[in-house]
Structure 1
Amino acid sequence: MSTAAVTPHENRAPNFWQSTNGKKVVMAVTGAIMFLFIIGHVAGNLQIFEGPAKLNAYGHFLHSIGELLWPVRIVLLLCVGLHITATVQLAMRNKAARPVGYSRKQAINSSYASRTMYWSGPIVLAFIIFHLLQFTAGYIHPGSQFIEGDVYHNVVAGFQVWWVSVWYIIAVSLLGFHLRHGLWSMFQSIGYNHPRHTPLLKKAAFVIALLITLGYISIPISVLAGFIK
């Protein structure tokens, strides 16, 4: 009796990156790294409420350690690239698994945040690029002159343009939706999934995402309202 030949390719298990679980783990790890950056970033930005001297001192400190920041920037860029790549590939894989759409699609056991994960990410990425060009590089600074080193002036002058503030608030709100779903699903992706713990994780993710969103949007709202001048 002859046995069917098995080629090495057929016998080889898919590697970590090619597997669906591998991509989910990559999304979880890179998302966690970017989440830590988001926490540090909002904490630094909120120093604007302490006055020009405090915020400008923070900006000067970051500028003084510019060489040390490059490894951090490279890691963040790598995380962003891997996170987006894994997200897009998973979306394409899910679509290929169900090429025929539902005749009537109903959102069962899914939140608005989870249903907008795939397209909110690219929108937030576009906002980050615009944000860097405006407040970091100074290439886009409508309504006033960009002053190198005067972080307080640049932030206030930038947010005094209403459409810049509106764009910022919308993008940060989408980031909040992204975080709300991503934070608890991160634990699910690495295998920490239990009926007792998942509801608690979802509530914690909602509170954390809400606080981060309110922290970010409090700045343009305060500028538009005249509380920060």
Structure 2
Amino acid sequence: MAVTTGARPREAARERSTLAVLWGSTVGKKAAMAVSGVVMLTYLVFHMLGNLKIFFGPGDLNGYAAWLRTIGQPFLGHAWFLWIARVGLLLAVVVHAVAAYQLSRRDLAARPTGYRHTRARSSYATRTMRWGGVILALFIVWHILDLTTLTVNPRAEAGHPYQNVVASFSTWYGGGIYCVAMLALGLHVRHGFWSAAQTLGVNNPRRNRVLKLTANLLALVLTAGFLCVPLAVMTGIVK
């Protein structure tokens, strides 16, 4: 009996899932950040392309928004696809944020006091990612309240995304918040793409130049693509 009792803790330790062990390691958390970052990046590309339909008029953007709610029918119910995508995206955001926070705490706990003065470039990238992440997290909350639940949109009307976007960006604070967030997004994507490539083992001396160029180009395209919508509304190009 004594042997059986003593063996239980060891058996329980062996039965810990591989996923839990991976999550508990620094490498696992970095991998989780990289994979969740790729999921969010994919969403951002399609979201930006959808936003650009605003330049084709209310019919195109409103029709596109209505079409999104019919994806998967009749197998899926009305707007089910959107909710599945939202839940998946939320999980990716939570995993990304929690892993980033825990890695940051580990880094601070392991770092000697004098280390702070030795790698200015890495410190800059780390600070950019950290504060960019905070800005984007706050923006996500605002964006949902503004254009999803329509809680803070001054002239929101359910079922009319074109009109709601114009109403939001017609205010100095609506357009201003969006522009600041998109600049933070560009920096976050630029540093994050390169970090993800390193974590997933995609980079090597031959590919590094191409990967850095891709990171810069992707960040520039996303930033410009997202910024052109509020700027077009604020300058009267889109009404």
Which TM-score bucket, shorter chain as reference?
Answer: 0.7 to 0.9
- Alignment check: 8 A CA contact 2:147 2:153 kept: yes
TM-score, with length taken from structure 2: 0.84
**Matched residue SS, 1:16:** helix
Q: 2:86 — aligned with what?
A: 73
CA RMSD of aligned residues (A): 2.2
Write the deviation string for residues 185-210 of structure 1: whole angstroms up to 9, x where unpaired: 11110122312212220111111111
Structure 1 vs Structure 2: percent identity of aligned residues? Answer: 42
Aligned length: 219
Cα distance in 2, alignment partners of residues 141 and 224 from structure 1 = 16
- Alignment check: 8 A CA contact 2:170 2:233 kept: yes
Cα distance, 1:39–1:99 mapped onto 2, change above 3 Å: same
Name the structure with the higher helix share.
Answer: 2
Q: CA deviation at 1:79?
A: 0.8
- Alignment check: 8 A CA contact 2:69 2:81 kept: no
Q: Determine whether 1:46 maps to 2:52.
A: yes
Cα distance in 1, alignment partners of residues 223 and 232 from structure 2 = 14
Q: 1:19 — aligned with what?
A: 25
- Alignment check: 8 A CA contact 2:36 2:95 kept: yes
Cα distance, 1:197–1:115 mapped onto 2, change above 3 Å: farther
| Correspondence 1:59-208 to 2 at 5 A | 59-64=65-70, 65-102=78-115, 104=117, 107-108=120-121, 110=122, 112-142=124-154, 145-208=155-218
1:118 maps to a residue whose letter is R
Cα distance in 2, alignment partners of residues 171 and 183 from structure 1 = 18
Q: CA deviation at 1:129?
A: 1.1
Q: CA deviation at 1:38?
A: 0.5
Please, which runs of 5 or more residues in structure 1 have no aligned partner? Answer: 1-6
- Alignment check: 8 A CA contact 2:203 2:211 kept: no
1:29 maps to a residue whose letter is V
Q: 2:73 — aligned with what?
A: none
Q: CA deviation at 1:131?
A: 0.7
Q: CA deviation at 1:40?
A: 0.8
